[in-house]
Amino acid sequence: MQKIRKEQGITLLALVITIIVLLILAGITISAITGDNGIIGNAGKAKEETEIANEKEIVEKATVQVMGNNKYGNIEESELQEQLDKETDTGKTEVSDVGDEFEVVFHESNRYYTVDKDGNVEGAYEIVEDEYPGDITVGKDGETLDGSEGKPYEIWCIEDLVEWSQNYRNYQNSYIELKRTLNFKSRLSYINGKMLNCNSIEELRNLLTNTSGSGFTPITNFYGTFDGKNFEIQNIYENVSGKAGFFADAAGTIKNLKISGNIISNDGYAGGIVSNLGETLNISNCINYCNVTANAEIHTNPGNVDVRGTAGGIVGKCVGNVIIKDCANEGNIYGTNETGGIVGFQYVSNITILNCYNDGMINGESDTGGIIGRTLASTVQIYNCYNIGNISGSVTGGLMGNRGSNDKIEIKNCYNYSEIKGSKYQGEIIGFNWAYDTETSPTIENVFYTNQTIGAFGGFANAIGTPVYCEDISDNNFVTQLNDYVSSVTEQDILWKSWILGKEGYPIFE
């Protein structure tokens, strides 16, 4: 009897263990089927990837066909739509010309692709549905935001940008993030268009992009932190009196933003990112593709500090302390007065420009430079920068147009590789260097230029250190010289970028 009970106990224990094992296996099986990386999930992802590949192939095939049929190899909106209708059923796709590219929408999948003028296809992108357009205090999915670092306000559509610019006082000291690329010419960047007395997307889009009007109103008096998250504001248009730029006035931090379009100031200052800076500002990892124009009367007083008609690729005019790092200008910049690839005019305070370059054409009627047009600042530090954009004006310099006072100037580990034309003064590094002795002379270290005929400096050429003429910069030895200097900088608050030889034949940042 005792033996029987013992065997029954063992059998019961085995049964319990078996049940537990089965439950565990069942849990694993269910998870394997329904989990994030389960069979069902992976099947869904595979299906989506296949759909995207098919859609992209359709767009690429239609694009190649259209370019092949066009006499000049161009892409026309109507021709691309016609070809896509042949590849799919009519009405399944919709093509829109949005400036420098086309958008192709697939209605059934709620996805779209972009096609540039050279036929390159990018995507897929999801069409965003925002239930709260024009309210940046509510997230896309309805979550409440308070503008703190942990819950920054969010920009999902053009209506959100308009709200910010119109009611800027509500958001002056906030954290704000751009959540996707927005194109002022694309209806996909709008939700309902119900802003500025407009009742439709077409009305609002026309109001903001029509070149007979003033366009977008720049954001005024921002003192917080704006993070573009490496997205782009495309096809912005401004034609305003006074200050023109994505920001009219700003302090605080602006980072990770790309911007393209046209920005025009009449009798004011213009900058691709910021028009006017009056306090402390840090700008990092921003690229301007905008054409920036500042029109005003040409000033004749060299001591004038309220210089209108000042234009810069990143900042128009600075009166406060500023650090600009890891930024670039790719747009064409024009000013009737001070004009610069990165900064038009810096006055009184301190400026550091690090790891920046200009590749745009800089054309001014007065002081014009690849990095800074004119400076009357207390301290100017231009470190690890280069200019490859052509410069023209009255007083022109490859890196700085006019150094106009007893400020402290340091230019280190930079080069200029461009065409310089100055009707009054011209220099490969500084157009006019206001320095009478060593105490007022700029410090030049490991700085290079490529035009021996013009020379490094225009007027008043005193300097501590001598820029080096380099006949051939398309050489790895030149890259090594730049990188050796970078590696020698041991005390630095912010990282100096290393260099490589670009495919264009000149050094670029790694």
How big is the chain by its Cα radius of gyration, in Å? 29
**Confidence band, pLDDT 50/70/90 cuts, at residue 502:** very high
| Closest by CA position to 344, among listed 425, 241, 271, 259 | 271
Angle 465-466-469 (CA atoms, 0-180°, nearest 5)? Answer: 155
pLDDT (0 to 100) of residue 2: 46
**Confidence band, pLDDT 50/70/90 cuts, at residue 21:** confident
pLDDT digits (tens, 9 = 90+) for 209-225: 999 999 999 999 999 99
pTM of the model: 0.87
Give the fold, CATH level 3, of 244-464.
Pectate Lyase C-like (2.160.20)
pLDDT (0 to 100) of residue 32: 57
- Find out whether 206 and 237 touch, Cβ atoms under 8 Å: no
pLDDT (0 to 100) of residue 406: 60
**Confidence band, pLDDT 50/70/90 cuts, at residue 5:** very low
Q: Which two tokens stand for residue 405?
A: 């006072």
- Find out whether 367 and 393 touch, Cβ atoms under 8 Å: yes
Over residues 396-412, the mean pLDDT reads 87
pLDDT (0 to 100) of residue 3: 44
The residues near 246 (Cβ < 8 Å, ≥ 6 apart) are 218, 219, 233, 236, 257, 259, 263, 272, 273, 274
Comparing 129 with 385, the larger pLDDT belongs to 385
pLDDT digits (tens, 9 = 90+) for 414-470: 999 999 999 999 999 999 887 656 666 889 999 999 988 888 888 776 778 889 999
Percent share of the chain, pLDDT over 70: 90
**Confidence band, pLDDT 50/70/90 cuts, at residue 38:** low
Looking at this protein, which amino acid is placed at residue 400?
Answer: M
- 108-115's contacts with Cβ under 8 Å and 24+ in sequence apart are 109/51, 109/55, 111/52, 111/55, 112/188, 113/55, 113/56, 113/59, 115/59, 115/63, 115/75, 115/80
pLDDT digits (tens, 9 = 90+) for 105-152: 999 999 999 999 899 999 888 888 888 999 999 988 889 999 999 999
| Closest by CA position to 405, among listed 466, 341, 347, 342 | 347
pLDDT (0 to 100) of residue 159: 97
pLDDT at 202 over 70: yes
Q: How high is the mean pLDDT of the chain?
A: 90
pLDDT (0 to 100) of residue 27: 65
Distance CA(261)–CA(332), nearest Å, equals: 11
pLDDT digits (tens, 9 = 90+) for 268-282: 999 999 999 878 899
Q: Which of 42-51, 78-87, 386-395 has the lowest mean pLDDT?
A: 42-51
Over residues 78-93, the mean pLDDT reads 91
Distance CA(371)–CA(350), nearest Å, equals: 15
Q: Which of 27-41, 62-76, 157-171, 208-222 has the lowest mean pLDDT?
A: 27-41
The residues near 433 (Cβ < 8 Å, ≥ 6 apart) are 403, 427, 441, 442, 457, 458, 459, 460, 461, 462, 463
Domain ranges of the chain: 39-126, 143-241, 244-464
pLDDT (0 to 100) of residue 490: 74
pLDDT (0 to 100) of residue 13: 73
**Confidence band, pLDDT 50/70/90 cuts, at residue 494:** confident
